[in-house]
Amino acid sequence: MSTRDLWNSYARYFNAEECIVFPADEPELEFYRRIREEFDGACLEIGAGSGRLAASLKSKSVTIALEPSDSMLGGWSAEDRRDAVRIQGTGEQMPFKSDHFQFVCFPYNGLQCVPEENIRLGILKEAFRVIAPGGFFLLEVSPVFDRRESEQLTERYCADMPDGSRLILRERVVRRRNPDSIKYHMFYTTVKHDGETTEEIILDLFVTNRDEVIGLLKDAGFCSVIEWGNYDRSPYDDELSPRLLALAIKGL
Ligand SMILES: C[S@@+](CC[C@H](N)C(=O)[O-])C[C@H]1O[C@@H](n2cnc3c(N)ncnc32)[C@H](O)[C@@H]1O
């Protein structure tokens, strides 16, 4: 299944989880709002999904939201559509001229959703190409996935939806080594007054570590990288940090 097809199927469940089932991650939204204030020129979000970060990334200068999936793009609210210019496309083939953006980001483990190694490097090389000299690239990944083990099928939640239906997630996790990946088999059941349907979504996440990420950024051309371990900008620690926020600089 192509990335676009996967996210077209997954969009309604991903968006329900982010907007209804679980509370918003306020430290994350604040982190992106603050960093956008610091880098206030033209900005690009790669894999912008349904605009969850649009309000945080809005500025006087333009913010471009690049996203391959029709369903994710279709999920943007009217308000978020005012905050960014949505463009359909992939990170490995960006429809932008070189040296254009002051700030590019690929948030929320987006890179780990790309199963092909050559495409992951292709995205980072494209990010390097479109960033202006002296500009910044922020890449967010979760090396902690490496510590996740396989898990049997269990129910994760049962939540009421605004349209009166109920959404139930049952999930099984398969941890593979060589190639290092974590496969989520998600069974989403929608219960309505006239019956229920179940759809399986399989999300294959690439498992990575700090050294590999920094190596990829250097291979893409970035010269120096600041490493934070959380949204409070604490330094990255392999054992303790819940995520890696790598801020890479394109040399002048
Ligand atoms: C985990 S979601 C994050 C969405 C959004 N940034 C957010 O924080 O809510 C990852 C997004 O990356 C997109 N994506 C997957 N492969 C991509 C690619 N090759 N280029 C650009 N975006 C991609 C998916 O369609 C999806 O919307």
Q: Which atom of ligand 1 is nearest to the CA of 109?
A: 1
Note whether 199 and 225 are same-domain residues: no
Task: Tell me the mean pLDDT in the region 90-95.
Answer: 98
Note whether 198 and 220 are same-domain residues: no
Residue 1 has pLDDT above 90, yes or no: no
pLDDT for res 119: 97
Residue 94 has pLDDT above 90, yes or no: yes
Note whether 48 and 99 are same-domain residues: yes
Distance 112 CA to ligand 1 centre (A): 9
Note whether 105 and 199 are same-domain residues: no
Kindly write down the DSSP assignment for every residue of the chain, as one continuous string: --HHHHHHHHHHHHHHIIIIIS---HHHHHHHHHHHHHS-S-EEEES-TTSTTHHHH--SS-EEEEE--HHHHHT--HHHHHHSEEEE--TTS--S-TT-EEEEEE-TTGGGG---HHHHHHHHHHHHHHEEEEEEEEEEE-GGGGG---EEEEEEEEEE-TTS-EEEEEEEEEEETTTTEEEEEEEEEEEETTEEEEEEEEEEEEP--HHHHHHHHHHHT--EEEEESSTT-PBP-TTT-S-EEEEEE---
Note whether 173 and 217 are same-domain residues: no
CATH of residue 47: 3.40.50.150
Residue 179 has pLDDT above 90, yes or no: no
Note whether 39 and 156 are same-domain residues: no
Note whether 123 and 33 are same-domain residues: yes
Residue 246 has pLDDT above 90, yes or no: yes
Note whether 133 and 69 are same-domain residues: yes
What is the total count of domains within the chain?
2
Q: What is the pLDDT of residues 31-69, one digit of tens each?
A: 999 999 999 999 999 999 999 999 999 999 999 999 999
Note whether 113 and 149 are same-domain residues: no
pTM for the full model?
A: 0.97
Note whether 139 and 57 are same-domain residues: yes
Hey, which of 6, 7, 18, 44 would you mutate to test ligand 1's pocket, going by the most ligand atoms within 8 Å of its Cβ?
7
Distance 114 CA to ligand 1 centre (A): 9
Distance 195 CA to ligand 1 centre (A): 32
Note whether 36 and 111 are same-domain residues: yes
Note whether 12 and 105 are same-domain residues: yes
Task: Tell me the mean pLDDT in the region 118-136.
Answer: 98
Q: Is 135 in the pocket of ligand 1 (CB under 6 A)?
A: no
pLDDT for res 178: 83
Kindly write down the DSSP assignment for every residue of 189-218, as one continuous string: EEEETTEEEEEEEEEEEEP--HHHHHHHHH
Domain range for 8: 3-143+209-249
The contacts found for 149-155 with CB under 8 angstroms, 24 or more apart, are 149/173, 149/175, 150/174, 150/175, 153/185, 153/187
Mean pLDDT of the residues in the chain: 97
